[in-house]
Structure formats: structure tokens, C-alpha cells
């Protein structure tokens, strides 16, 4: 098991960067598989992203101790009896070499090296129990840290967020692989649509591309003719000729790096005039936001730009009434665009969301309670090397549009009668993965068409 | 949300059957989704099988209390704010009607109705914590029950095993759906093989069939040219013309019922003479076991029959030397067939394996420590209505065949030199899902060919 020198060097650089930000040792656990319906029938193993970032390999039930840039690996050699079931697995020494470890020990040695070490809690409970035990902590609750560790665990989370906020070349190469496979899947989905009878059949064509490329879904796919349900995760609806299909599906590479892409296309291969009108508004917001994205720009301003472009577009279409700026000020855009313009992307599809808003929000900032801003997942000035999604949308959510308070508050801002002409637009979203650079942003998913004419051509074959 | 009367009646019958076996109330939790890399990015929700068996619907974060055949449902109505993300979800009243509940309450009312109720622990830790809390138990460890509950929890597990051991018509209808989709997937895999360059590409074609039919994998698929690794779960190997592809892949319906099927086919579309020789031995064992399966027969005797047929076949081929009966007595067959002939199948692919050997082993029986028997998952006399897998195999596992102890113990029983002619047979398994009936057993997966000629025809198109 040899790994290109570049990867080992990159891993060492990541550890050095972290070492410059903290003055205490760190232990990061990879985690164990979670059980599905019985202990041995597990979900596919997904290591902790923090472990993956600094260790690079998806090793089960391992831990690394980082101190001043040095790495100690803690894992057990594979059980000889497991060879029958799992074949010849790499040894501790082989893993240690592959990740550039400075030393390697059996797992039981971890406890003696753990006092005073900060950590990030993993997702699986068996490993979390181990994290408490190894650090000799009182286990008050499953989620909360002991007081003694609260401060350094928080400091570690902030330091890791700082390091992981921008991507190195090894990460970018993985992110581009995920993006390439995701684009291929979306094309396969468009091309499968004419033959597909249900959402599930389009999903199958798309996820098949991921599986064939040895990738997984970075998140539960959305493949729906009911795009107005934002996290729709059912796939049984039949495809009707007048439907728009909203597809939010992204690949994750074997070492954990994600893509996150949405396209919306007409089942028939032809947008209706009303669908195309709204689609063009969303696409205009999408293009404007990407053009505006550069280092130093506040991500919230990109969000607000999307809101203005959408408000302006809807005014031009006769759906909203008033000045776009005023409408945004009143959150009238959020009737149709109720979520944020996007989020960080990396090893997690919402990168580092396990740290709460530590990664997404600049120190000292907190979530707004405004209807039009509360769902914004990223509120920082952009920096070169950050990867973000840009994903404006338009939805007719009955729970929002029929809410008596909204009906009354926005009575004069919405042309409700005219809106009735657009019932064949339940949900549209266009989402790309955008790398912030010193020059123009680099769209990792640029080769997947978003313009309605080209999408129509692809579906029509 | 209406459900056919037959299903509601069946659910009530299942609860009545349970009520006849126990004299205390029971609470069964459905569970919550498990987190993957961050809390909101969850694995697809899989409810507890015991909940599914008695409640019939995959409801998240619900519980049922069973007492004397009556069912009380405990769940909260969907949060109005969740409508934006998840759409309109069924209410407590709707679920209660669909499952034939006798009463329905908010979840917080459960604690006041829980004292003295037995339960089965679910797989996700958040719900397990709730199970401890609701029953007001000291939480010594994550897995262990409190002493006060140990006895009734065990009694409940035994009663549930008794009820779930044989299948009613509603269950069989689901199991047949899973089997039908699984057969379709295997055919798709065979037909995709000539175009496929890697194991992953065959897997994609097969799992795509499941996804298109709104089913999931009942377990992590095995699609491998290294069948000698029994639980091989990597898919990156290229397909070479001389390879056999061993595929163990089964569907699970939306309400949780599983299929479990293995076929082994030649990548080139043509078995080599040595591959066909061994394949025929495994197929003979498969056919003999199914023909022998009937009520009253000990499942272990079916296992031993497979061992004898395999030993006899290998003697005839010149690989083993001696009398088949003697070879089996010495576990020589287990050099090549080291696992059990199969297991129970139902809502879990190893049905009720979460109860340990309570379901698989007749009361009073324990696992053998014999090399040739220790992996047997089922050790009961068969009964009409049981569904079992029959899955004989032949593997050349280096860790077994090269083990010095085995080399010495079986020195005179194996023609080691002659065995070297069979290096192109790394692993073969043939597995079907067999329903025990009063007459001939019913093979739910019978329409998927297992004979080498027909498999060759399908691959060659």
C-alpha cells in the first residue's frame, strides 16, 4: 500500500497548520460502522470527516493523536480470524506508512496518551462512549463534553474550522472527481427521463453512475416532481408530461469528498412558457451570484444579491409588486426563496456542520431571526480556496403561501391572482459548486449545462 | 392513507398471537435515523424490525404499547415548521387508523404507561437512551438491560421469536416482492457483465433495479471476483475473462421485508471445465438440500447433507480422498465450505439476529465449537411457514488452506497437488430463499436460473 508522496506531504502540511493554531494535543477517532436492523448488518462505514482530513484514509476503529504536527496512529492489527470474512486487511504498520505516521501503537495504548487531549465527538455512539472513557470523563449526557474539556474542545473546533475552510490541491483533486462523477450522473438522469415512468427510475439511473464509479451519495438524493418540498425523499410519484423534475444529487469519493449539484428539468423535454419564465429568473440569480463571488465579498451579500435578482425577476413577470430592494427588505422574496443561497462544501456536504455554526459563521456572528435570513448556513467573507454552493431557487410551498399571516403581510406585494398562472412551477433550483479564487471563481460543475435550451436538447436526445 | 383491511387484520392477529404467549405489557420503539458524518446527514431510516412486524408502517420516532392484544400508539403530530422541508406528513390519527391502533397519544405520555413493560432494545443510541429513561432504568451500559427487566425482556424476545418464526400471508406477499425484485436485479447483473469493466459496474446495474423499484439493499451487496473473501465489500477489481463473479445481493421492500440471493457466473459467459466441475458440486448440494427441506427435518441435518454432497463431489473430482461420511466427521468439507448452509429470512436478512441465537437456536441448544458447525446460524427442526436460505458454497480461502494445522491435520485427505488445477475457482455460492410448506418446499427465487447452461445463455445474450 503505497501512497503518492504528494498526499503524505499534504497530510503533514494539514497537521502542521493545525499545530500552529493550538497548544495542546488532539485525538481524532475514525469511528465504527453504525448498525442498521441488527448489530452485524451495518450501514456503509463513513469515518469522521476530521479524521479523514488529517489521516487521509478511511480506516475503521482507529484514532490519531496529533501533537505539535506529529502523528501517532492507534489501531489494532486485523484479527487473524477475520481474514475468512474480510480477506487480508492492511496492518497497523502499513496504514502508518500510508498516512505518514511518526509512530504507531495498539489501540489500548491510547488511554495512557489521552489526558488533556482535545477531541471532536464522532457520530456513532460506541465510539463516543470510548471518547468519554479514554479521556476519563464523567459521562453526563451523550452529546455534552465534560467541563474540563469544554474549552479546549471548542478551541480545537475553531482551529480545525480555520484549517478546513480553504482547500489544498489534494482536496481539490478529490472534490473535482466528485464533481465530475456528479455531472455524469445528472446527464444520465436527463437522458433516462424520457423512458422513466417514476422518480425512482431516474434516481436509479443517476445513483447507478455513482455506484459504477465506486462513489456513494454524499447525502440522500432528492429526485422529485414535488420540488416545493425542500427535502423530499420519496420517489414513488409517476412522471407526468407537464412536470418539472427537481434533482439534488451529489457524489462522495471513497476518501470522503463531496459534490452537491441541483438541476431542474422538464419531464417532457420542453419547458412550458411559465416554467421557462421562472427558470430564467432563478438562472439569472445563479449567474449573478457566481459572477459576484470573490475573496473579500460577504457571502450574505451574495445571498442578498440572489434575493434582489429573484425579486426583480418576479416583479418583471408581474408576480411581485414594488421595488426589488423594498421587497427584499420586507422578505417578500422569501415567500418563494425561503432558504439560504448555499453553504460550505468539502468532506461534508454542509462542510463541518457537526461543529454547529463554528465553521459557517465568522466569530461573533449569530443566526438572524429574519424569515429571509435565518436559514443562511454561511456568514463569512469569502476567501480564496473556499468551496461554496450557489443554489438559488423558486418554490410554491403551500405552507408558506397559504399561511394567513403571510397572506395578510404580503397582500399588496404579491399579485395572487396572476400567480395562479404559474401552478406548473412547484419548485426550481439550480445549484453549482463554486471555488473562490483570486480571479474569477472556478465552477467545478461548470460542464453540466444549466441553460434551458441545452437541457431540452439533452433530454430530447 | 387507507390500508387494505387484510393488512390491519393481519397486524391484529400478530398482536393476538404475542398476547397469548406473555402476561405483561410490551413497548416497541421504531427508532430514529442514525447520523452519518453530521447530525442532519442521516443514513436512510430503518425502523426496528419488531416494531415493523407489529405496527406494519415505517414511522420515525414512534412507539407502540401492546397489552393483551390491544395497541396504543405513541407519536407526536408532525411539527408545522417541518412542512417546509418534508411536506405534509401523516398525523398521529392517520397512522393510528392505518395500523389499527386502539388508542393514540403524544409521545410524552409513554413514560406514565411504561412501568413494568418489556421491550427489545433498538439499534440507534438516541432511542436506546429513551428506552432506558422511559422505563426508569439505571443505565449501567449501553447494551445491557437492568436486572429488573432482564427476565421479562428475555421472555418477550422468546415470544417474539416464536411468533416471527413462521410467516403469514401478508409477510409472504412482501417477501415475494423482495424476491421478485432481487431476481430481476440478478438478471440485470448477468446481462450487464459483458459490458462491465469492474465489479462496481455490475453492482450499479443490479442496485439500480432495486432503486428503480423503490427498494433498498437488505444488506451490503457482495459483487466480487474474489468470492473466497466471504464478506467482500469492495468493488474496484477489474473483470478478467477467466474470473467467476460471485454476487450476493438482496432487496428489501419499503416495509422492511428482505430477500437474500447469491449466484456465481463466469465473466466471459462460459464456465471453464474446472469451474463447471466445482459449480456442479455446489449445485448438487443446493438441490439436495432444498429437496430434503420439509417440516420436522432438523436444519442442521440439511447442513450436514450439504457437507456430505460436497465431500462426495470433491472425492469424485479427486480433490478429497476417503469416504464422504468420514470426511464430514473430520470437518474436511469445511476446508472448502466453512460457513453454515443458511439462516432464517424475514424482516431481517438474518432474521431476528438482534436477539442473538434466541430465534435461530431451539431452546436449550447452543453453538457447536466444531470447525464445521460453529457458523451454523439456525439449529431447529423446520416448521411449515418458515423461510430459510439454502446457500452451499466452495471457496479456496488461503487463510484456511495454507494454515499449517490444517495442512497437517488434512494432509492425507486432500490431494493438494491435484487441487492446484482448480485455481480459477476462488469462490462459488448458490443461494435461494426457501419457504417450508407441508408439501414440497416453495422456492421464492426459483425463477432465477441456477443451472450453468442457462446462466451462460443469459450472459452471452
**B1 pLDDT exceeds 50?**
no
Check CB contact under 8 Å for A87 and B211: no
Strands B70-74 and B103-105, bridge-based pairing: parallel
CATH of B169-460, one of 3.90.230.10, 3.90.1260.10, 3.40.1130.10, 3.40.50.10860: 3.90.230.10
Closest residue in B to A47 (Cα–Cα): B37
pLDDT tens digits for range B132-171: 999 876 554 444 555 678 899 999 999 999 999 999 999 9
**Interaxial angle between packed helices A199-212 and B199-212, expressed in degrees from 0 to 180 and rounded to the nearest 10:** 160
Determine the distance in angstroms separating the CA of B41 from the nearest CA of chain A, rounded to an integer.
Answer: 6
* Chain B contact set for A191 (CB, 8 A): none
- Nearest chain A alpha carbon to B51: A37
Q: Do A399 and B80 touch (CB under 8 A)?
A: yes
Q: Which residues contact A403 (CB under 8 A, 6 or more apart)?
A: none
Is the Cβ pair B39, A354 closer than 8 Å? yes
Q: Which B residues 211-240 touch A at CB under 8 Å?
A: 211-214, 219-220, 226, 228-233, 235-236
Chain A residues inside the 8 Å CB shell of B348:
37-38, 41
CA-CA distance, B198 to A393, in Å (whole number)?
A: 38
| Dihedral angle computed from the Cα positions of residues A139, A145, A150 and A152, in that order, rounded to the nearest 10 degrees | 100
Distance from the Cα of B22 to chain A's closest Cα (Å) equals 24
- Chain B interface includes A48 (CB < 8 A): yes
A181 neighbors A258 (Cβ within 8 angstroms): no
Locate the chain B residue with the closest alpha carbon to A49: B37
Measure CB to CB from residue B125 to each of A36, A125, A208 and give the nearest one.
A125
pLDDT of residue A297: 98
- Cα of B203 to nearest chain A Cα, Å: 7
**What chain A residue is nearest to B349 in terms of C-alpha separation?**
A41
Residue % of chain A over a pLDDT of 70: 97
Residue B434 vs residue A83, higher pLDDT: B434
CB contact under 8 A, B125 and A123: no
CB nearest A211 (choices: B43, B85, B204): B204
Q: In the predicted model, what is the mean pLDDT of chain A?
A: 95
* B273 near A CB under 8 A: no
A38 closest CB neighbour out of B42, B348, B397:
B348
Residue of A nearest to B140 (CA): A139
- Strand pairing class (A103-105; A70-74): parallel
Q: How far apart are CA B361 and CA A28, in angstroms?
A: 41
The secondary structure element, H or E, covering residue A401 is helix A398-401
Distance CA A48, CA B295 (A): 48
Cβ–Cβ under 8 Å, residues A385 and A436: yes
ipTM: 0.94
Is B85 within 8 Å of A230 when comparing Cβ atoms? Answer: yes
* Cβ under 8 Å to B: A residues 123-162: 123-126, 128-129, 142
pLDDT at A88: 87
B83 forms beta bridges with none
- For A37, the closest of B204, B212, B354 (CB atoms) is B354
Give yes or no for B45 touching A (CB within 8 A): no
Sheet holding A222-224, edge to edge: A222-224, A244-249, A261-266
pLDDT score, position B370 = 85
Query: So what's the architecture of B5-164 in CATH?
Result: 3-Layer(aba) Sandwich (3.40)
pLDDT beyond 50 at B379: yes
Q: Which residue of B has its CA nearest to A39?
A: B354
Q: Which stretches in chain A have pLDDT values below 70?
A: 1-3, 137-147
What are the structural domain ranges in chain B? 5-164, 169-460
The residue of chain A nearest to residue B427, with distances taken between CA atoms, is A84
Task: Tell me whether residues B212 and A198 touch, CB distance under 8 A.
Answer: yes
| Residue pair A99/A55 in contact by the 8 Å Cβ criterion | yes
Residue B71, CA distances (Å) to B58, B74, B107, B333 in order: 16, 10, 14, 50
With H, G, I as helix, E, B as strand and everything else as coil, classify residue A406. helix
Inter-chain touch B220–A44, beta carbons under 8 Å: yes
pLDDT at A371: 79
Closest residue on chain B to A122 (Cα): B37
**How far does chain A reach from its first CA to its final CA, in angstroms?**
44
Contact predicate B388/B293, CB 8 Å: yes
Listed by number, the residues of chain B in 363-402 with a beta carbon closer than 8 Å to a beta carbon of chain A are 397, 399-400
* CB spacing of A142 vs B125 below 8 angstroms: yes
Considering only the beta carbons, identify the residue of B129, B236, B348 that sits closest to A41. B348
Interface membership of A44 toward B (CB under 8 Å): yes
Amino acid at each position: 500500500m503505497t501512497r503518492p508522496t504528494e498526499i503524505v506531504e499534504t497530510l503533514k502540511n494539514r497537521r502542521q497548520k493545525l499545530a500552529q493554531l493550538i497548544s495542546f494535543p488532539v485525538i481524532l477517532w475514525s469511528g465504527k460502522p453504525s448498525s442498521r436492523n441488527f448489530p452485524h448488518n451495518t450501514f456503509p462505514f463513513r469515518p469522521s470527516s476530521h479524521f479523514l482530513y488529517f489521516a487521509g484514509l478511511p480506516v475503521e476503529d482507529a484514532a490519531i493523536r496529533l501533537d505539535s504536527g506529529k502523528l501517532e496512529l492507534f489501531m489494532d492489527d486485523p484479527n487473524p480470524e477475520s481474514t475468512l470474512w474480510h480477506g487480508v486487511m492492511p496492518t497497523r504498520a502499513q496504514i502508518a506508512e500510508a498516512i505518514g505516521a511518526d509512530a504507531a501503537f495498539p489501540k489500548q495504548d491510547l488511554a495512557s496518551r489521552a489526558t488533556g487531549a482535545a477531541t471532536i465527538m464522532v457520530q456513532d455512539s460506541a465510539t463516543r462512549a470510548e471518547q468519554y472513557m479514554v479521556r476519563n470523563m464523567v459521562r453526563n449526557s451523550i452529546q455534552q463534553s465534560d467541563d474540563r474539556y469544554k474549552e479546549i474542545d471548542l478551541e480545537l473546533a475553531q482551529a480545525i474550522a480555520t484549517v478546513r475552510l480553504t482547500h489544498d490541491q489534494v482536496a481539490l483533486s478529490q472534490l473535482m472527481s466528485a464533481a465530475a462523477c456528479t455531472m455524469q450522473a445528472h446527464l444520465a438522469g436527463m437522458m433516462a427521463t424520457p423512458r422513466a415512468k417514476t422518480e425512482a427510475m431516474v434516481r436509479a439511473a443517476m445513483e447507478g453512475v455513482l455506484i459504477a464509479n465506486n462513489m456513494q451519495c454524499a447525502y440522500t438524493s432528492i429526485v422529485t416532481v414535488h420540488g416545493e418540498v425542500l427535502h423530499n425523499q420519496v420517489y414513488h410519484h409517476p412522471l407526468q408530461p407537464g412536470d418539472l423534475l427537481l434533482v439534488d444529487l451529489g457524489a462522495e469519493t471513497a476518501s470522503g469528498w463531496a459534490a452537491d449539484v441541483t438541476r431542474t428539468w422538464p419531464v417532457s423535454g420542453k419547458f412550458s412558457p411559465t416554467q421557462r419564465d421562472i427558470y430564467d429568473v432563478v438562472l439569472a440569480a445563479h449567474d449573478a451570484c457566481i459572477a459576484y463571488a470573490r475573496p473579500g465579498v460577504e457571502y450574505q451579500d451574495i445571498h442578498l444579491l440572489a434575493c434582489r435578482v429573484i425579486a426583480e425577476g418576479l416583479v418583471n413577470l408581474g408576480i411581485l409588486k414594488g421595488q426589488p430592494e423594498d421587497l427584499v427588505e420586507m422578505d417578500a422574496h422569501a415567500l418563494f426563496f425561503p432558504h439560504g443561497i448555499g453553504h460550505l462544501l468539502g468532506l461534508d456536504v454542509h462542510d463541518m456542520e457537526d461543529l454547529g455554526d463554528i465553521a459557517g459563521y465568522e466569530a461573533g456572528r449569530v443566526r438572524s431571526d429574519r424569515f429571509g435570513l435565518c436559514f443562511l448556513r454561511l456568514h463569512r467573507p469569502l476567501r480564496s480556496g473556499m468551496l461554496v454552493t450557489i443554489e438559488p431557487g423558486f418554490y410554491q410551498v403551500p405552507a408558506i403561501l397559504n399561511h394567513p399571516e403571510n397572506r395578510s403581510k404580503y397582500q399588496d406585494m404579491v399579485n395572487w391572482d396572476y400567480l395562479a398562472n404559474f401552478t406548473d412551477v412547484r419548485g426550481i433550483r439550480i445549484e453549482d459548486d463554486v471555488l473562490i479564487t483570486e480571479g474569477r471563481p472556478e465552477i467545478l460543475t461548470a460542464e453540466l449545462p444549466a441553460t434551458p435550451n441545452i437541457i431540452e436538447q439533452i433530454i430530447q436526445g
